[in-house]
Amino acid sequence: MKINNQSLKGDIFGGVTAGIVALPLALAFGVQSGLGAAAGLYGAIGLGIFAALFGGTNTQISGPTGPMTVVSATTIALLIAQKGSLESALPAILLCFVLTGAFMILMGILKLGQYIKYIPYPVVSGFMTGIGVIIIMLQLFPMLGYESPKTIPQILVNIGDPLRDIHYPSLGLTVLTMIIVYLFPKVSKTIPSTLVALISVTVLAWGLSMDVAIIGAIPSGLPNLHFDLFTAISDFNLILMPAVTLAALGAIDSLLTSVVADNVTKTSHESNKELVGQGIGNMVAGMIGGIPGAGATMRTLVNINSGGTTKMSGVIHGVFLLLVLLGLSSMAALIPIPVLSGILLTVGISIVDKKGLSHIGKITKTDAIVLIIVLILTVFVDLLQAVAAGMIISSIIFIKQMGDITQKASTTTSIESDEEAEYLHDRYHIDISIRPFVTIKTINGPLFFGNSEYFMQLSKKIPDAIKLLIIDMRHVPYIDQSGLYSLESIILSLEQNKVQVYLLNLQKQPHAMMKNILLIPNVVESNSLFDDELLCAVAAKKYIEQINKN
């Protein structure tokens, strides 16, 4: 990484500012994960530095994020339940996080980053809103002065007890924190409002000796390398799917942030290189006992708006957090848990896709259904399954819609079609003497499995007087195996009924499919393919006259 003296000043200011914003979030995400505030800082440091060094987005700031923390917390709780204690489960937990990074590197090597653009917006909207809801609900217990259950159903079942006996000092600190986060930007935007809220409310709670839960001791000094995580290789079956889930989620989270950064900076990121960088960062984070993360949109925008332009800004952000860890860990131990809850509540609210939800009554019913299904599955089932279900449903809906559009846009004309038939037959130069015996099928759109069944019915709709069907395929850019088989079936069926088929204006891909697979040799080899309307019309006249003579 080359250091540009011209941009260094902006990178320093952008990196430090992003680090200030990241500090309270790293602490909060660490606590929420179940590994403690230090794990959040370790993750932010390891991921922040190494993802910046090896990633493909110059201004990306990486660290623990809401979606990644939600999955990490679930994974940690699952492994603790399996092993009986955090101490015995820790090697498996950290190995899971290292594997997460390894899978992200593999995704980059396989060049899967380019496919992020194919995720439909309703899936992203439902997913992000679900993440926001989870973060909000996980803070209900801490803001009321209690330790939160790990799952949403448990929270819903047990929320009655805290509501009946609210710990008002905790609630007051949470509400005050949120008020400062939202209102301080109206006073000044120079200092991040989350940092102002973190420091001011912590000082208030400490000055008033309020009886509230605090973060507690944070290890000082450099984090240790956890080579003992490799002793958990026997737990590979337990950590495989959580690692895959985290890797997929981290890829989506990071690349969406990269797209946002591109839009602001008018640059272009390298998606596969970004995945490799994120993978290396997550492997380092796991090795030093940190929670995994991804590209963080808010922190990236803060970096850009503060002057960051190169990868150095991300490195400086990580180094700043490392210096905080080395010098201020004892002070960070005094931060009240309700203050972190207030910060996380604002994070959860910001993640909820309010724009998408506000339009839910105005968008198509299918998009609304996908959004709602993904939202519900995200909150109550599993994040990766939610995205997978959303993608499958969206794909099925899209296939049906494209099939319907192709069917509606395609036309069949014969002598019975009056004025339109006259126009189209003139367009194809069909001699007036043979028009009663010829019909023309124009296909508009790809011929694929989504509409192949429709075209299978074509042979049943040809009038008895017709002796020749011309299928114009100039608007068919693509044909798949199902479409090719259905076309073959149509031709064979019509030929059994003494109806000849001509194919006109084949594009490159359909022609290659037909030629290579040779499923319709009688068409390919019998000079029944035409790329010129006039030649097709001449052949048609010759064929009909010959048939009529016989």
Q: What would the 3-class secondary structure string for 32-86 be?
A: HHCCCHHHHHHHHHHHHHHHHHHCCCCCCCEECCHHHHHHHHHHHHHHHHHHCCH
Task: Please state, in angstroms and rounded to a whole number, the distance separating the CA atoms of residues 352 and 137.
Answer: 13
Q: Domain 410-549 carries which CATH code?
A: 3.30.750.24
Do residues 193 and 342 make contact, with C-beta atoms less than 8 angstroms apart?
no
Task: Please state, in angstroms and rounded to a whole number, the distance separating the CA atoms of residues 51 and 31.
Answer: 23
What separation in angstroms does the CA of 397 have from each of 369, 394, 400, 444? 11, 5, 5, 19
What would the two tokens of residue 293 be? 């993360």
What would the two tokens of residue 454 be? 């429709």
What would the two tokens of residue 424 be? 């189209």
Task: Please state, in angstroms and rounded to a whole number, the distance separating the CA atoms of residues 9 and 137.
Answer: 41
Angle ∠(51,228,382) on CA atoms, nearest 5: 60
Answering whether pTM is above 0.95, one says no
Of 99, 143, 76, which Cα lies nearest the Cα of 348? 143
Per DSSP, the three-state class of 447 is strand
What would the two tokens of residue 437 be? 């015996």
Q: Where in the chain is the domain with CATH 3.30.750.24?
A: 410-549
Do residues 451 and 403 make contact, with C-beta atoms less than 8 angstroms apart?
yes
Q: What is the pLDDT along the chain (550 residues), one digit of tens a residue?
A: 555 666 788 888 888 878 877 888 888 889 889 898 889 999 999 999 999 999 999 999 999 998 899 889 989 999 999 988 999 999 999 999 999 999 999 999 999 887 776 778 888 888 888 888 988 998 899 999 998 887 888 899 999 989 999 999 999 999 999 999 899 989 887 777 888 888 899 999 999 989 898 877 777 778 889 999 999 999 999 999 999 989 988 998 898 888 878 877 888 889 999 999 999 999 999 999 999 999 988 788 878 877 888 999 999 999 989 988 888 777 777 889 899 889 889 888 887 888 888 888 887 788 888 899 989 998 888 777 887 888 888 877 777 766 666 656 555 544 444 555 566 566 788 888 888 888 888 888 887 776 666 666 666 677 888 888 888 888 888 888 878 888 888 888 888 888 888 888 888 888 888 777 766 555 545 667 888 888 888 888 888 888 888 6
pLDDT computed for residue 117 by the predictor: 66
Please say whether the dihedral angle defined by the alpha carbons of residues 187, 190, 192 and 196, taken in this order, is positive or negative: negative
pLDDT computed for residue 348 by the predictor: 84
DSSP bridge pairs for 294: 63
Per DSSP, the three-state class of 474 is strand
For residue 526, the tally of other CB atoms under 10 A from its CB is 12
